[in-house]
Structure 1
């Protein structure tokens, strides 16, 4: 029985690019004192005035336990605050420091994106995005890629 080469698999090439993009971005945000998961969490909070942990877990496709651990880390860093929601649980919000940090982190994400995918033509970049989004939808993938 013939054995296929690794490089014959699309997944091999996806993983090579994904690892490089993710690892470079992780190194860049680490300089700002956060992980990629923490950045994703902060970005998810950025557009609202406060979010319940369960809603954030649903939004990010993560467990409540994972959200709780991320919230604990970000609270200890002074980037997220917790408030009681009138006996109905907690509300998570960015602190002023956290809110001020999100645009800088977003600019880093944009620059990392451009560094890798700016090498493609606009048409190729759009096609790649459509193909990957189609695979995500068809496979029913919902977990945010934070690691």
Structure 2
């Protein structure tokens, strides 16, 4: 008496998923940018923090955590690394030492435009095969997904 095996559900191909292709491209874009950042001594995560601070005079770490979607612990570690690199300064409140304000140092303020140029260059190089219209459509589609899923955490890696 032979028993037939139950039919196995079809297993989708790895490359049939949009997420696969998004991650594939994202990893390569991020890797290319990280390589461009090597000479600056700044990581991609540190670049995100520096760029977020650039448009402010001072910012508390809690606001930076809220802006980026990172935990306060992750923000504290990134800020500490940037303080050691002398790219940001940290000021404690006179009344409450737990209250801090973070600001770019003069060196940090000079570095951000240079890093922004590298980010712009990376985008131009990587997305060069797309027409202007295709780039606009891609960005619009990605922004639609960000909005639809209420995404807030900034990519840092």
TM-score, length-scaled by structure 1: 0.97
Tell me how far 1:28 sits from its aligned partner.
1.0
Q: Secondary structure at the match of 1:110?
A: helix
What is the aligned partner in structure 2 of residue 96 from structure 1?
106
Q: CA RMSD in A?
A: 0.9
Secondary structure at 1:4's aligned position in 2? coil
Moved over 6 A (4+): none
Residue 32 of structure 2 corresponds to: 24
Alignment-derived partner of residue 4 in structure 2 = none
Match of 2:141 among 114, 126, 131: 131
Q: Following TM superposition, by how much is the alpha carbon of 1:50 offset from its aligned partner in structure 2, in angstroms?
A: 0.5
Structure with larger Rg: 2
User: CA separation in 2, counterparts of 1:61 and 1:87?
Assistant: 28
Equivalent residue number for residue 57 of structure 1: 65
Give the match's secondary structure for 1:143. Answer: coil
How far residue 93 of structure 1 moved from its aligned partner, in angstroms, is: 0.4
In 1, distance between residues paired with 2:92 and 2:22? 43
Matched, 1:83 2:121: no
Q: How many pairs does the alignment contain?
A: 147
